[in-house]
Amino acid sequence: MNQSLTIRRPDDWHLHLRDGELLRAVLPHTAAHFARAIIMPNLVPPVVTGADAAAYRDRIMAALPEGMVFEPLMTLYLTEETDPEDVAAAQASGLVKAVKLYPAGATTNSASGVTDFDRVTGVLEKMADIGLPLCTHGEVTDPSVDIFDREAVFIDRVLDPIRKRHPGLRVVMEHITTSDAVDYVREGNENLAATITTHHLVINRNHILAGGIRPHYYCLPVAKRERHRLALRAAATSGNARFFLGTDSAPHTDANKLLPCGCAGCFTAPNTLSILAEVFEQEGALDQLEGFTSINGPHFYRLPVNEERVALTRTPPSFPDHIETEEGPVTLFDPQMPLNWSL
């Protein structure tokens, strides 16, 4: 039985840092573990232009505690008015590493997202030309489609037509939740990859609904049936280089999570690595943890891997139930299983 494991310092390829006081409270929990992270642009107002991204990056770096080393990898929020030349300039400057597609109304702060996909054709063509990845929130918003089917329908109605229309476009299917998405990535080419969250490896829809509603497990895309969770675990631990970690760590204060219409999101930044080590050990795949957390993502994004190493040791960690912020407490995701690995 392994007592320790040394891996390259991980990266997080899907992260919400928010802004203002909440940013200052949650950023240290990511920077303590991760060298880099793809930063989601769904602020209010959203991060739409290169100038917006530069200003947000400055706020992130100003909030980083002294002595901590962390690189935010910025993204732009795709709208129907996005300027292809601004996108190209933002990438050429080295600032922006991806553009994020939110179907309008699909998730938190997605009201400015895309309704008519024909209106973003020029941006997607430019992105294909310059090799800039498109990160997708993969759900349709058609009210006639059941919430548990929206990812699979998105693949058929939206994503597959986009990829056929723009075959050179590099796409990251973010926070996949279904065996349909796993199969679609496996059947795709080198231009297609997917991130998998920590919490979707742990919970299925029963954790949210059985025995009472548990708001802190409510996320979007919502957790699915157990067979989908098992498909995600198999993909994450398989060694397939087109699956990698994107925590989608999404902090909301308890006051906002516990409303009659509460916010979607799980806050996993502090305990992700301990949970992942447990999951990968359960699957007999500790040797694949470094690839999933530290190698596959940089390779897809055409960035160097981190040279710094971190050590996980077989020591039960201790985590608080919540963290305090100026806006109120933020509850930490509870994996409902013993954890045996500490960073």
Residues sharing a CB contact under 8 Å with residue 251, sequence separation 6 or more, in sequence order: 16, 18, 22, 25, 26, 265, 267, 269, 325, 330
- What is the torsional sign of CA 173, 302, 271, 107? negative
**The two three-digit tokens of residue 184, written as one number:** 């679609």
Q: State the alpha helices, DSSP H only, in 49-170.
A: 50-63, 84-92, 121-130, 150-154, 160-165
**The two three-digit tokens of residue 239, written as one number:** 């060694």
Long-range contacts of 110-116 (CB under 8 A, 24+ apart): 110/42, 110/137, 112/45, 112/46, 112/48, 112/77, 112/79, 113/77, 113/78, 113/79, 113/137, 114/78, 114/79, 114/80, 115/80, 116/80
Q: What does each C-alpha distance from 90 to 11, 35, 67, 79, 199 come to in angstroms?
A: 22, 22, 28, 16, 32
Catalytic (active site) residue 248 = yes
Active-site residue among 248, 254, 321, 334?
A: 248
164: amino acid identity, one letter: K
Dist CA 216 CA 257 (whole Å): 7
Q: Is 6 helix (H, G, I), strand (E, B) or coil?
A: strand
**The two three-digit tokens of residue 135, written as one number:** 């990160």
- Between CA 239 and CA 245, with CA 240 as vertex, the angle to 5 degrees is 80
Dist CA 219 CA 81 (whole Å): 28
- Between CA 224 and CA 229, with CA 225 as vertex, the angle to 5 degrees is 80
- Catalytic residue numbers, as ranges: 248
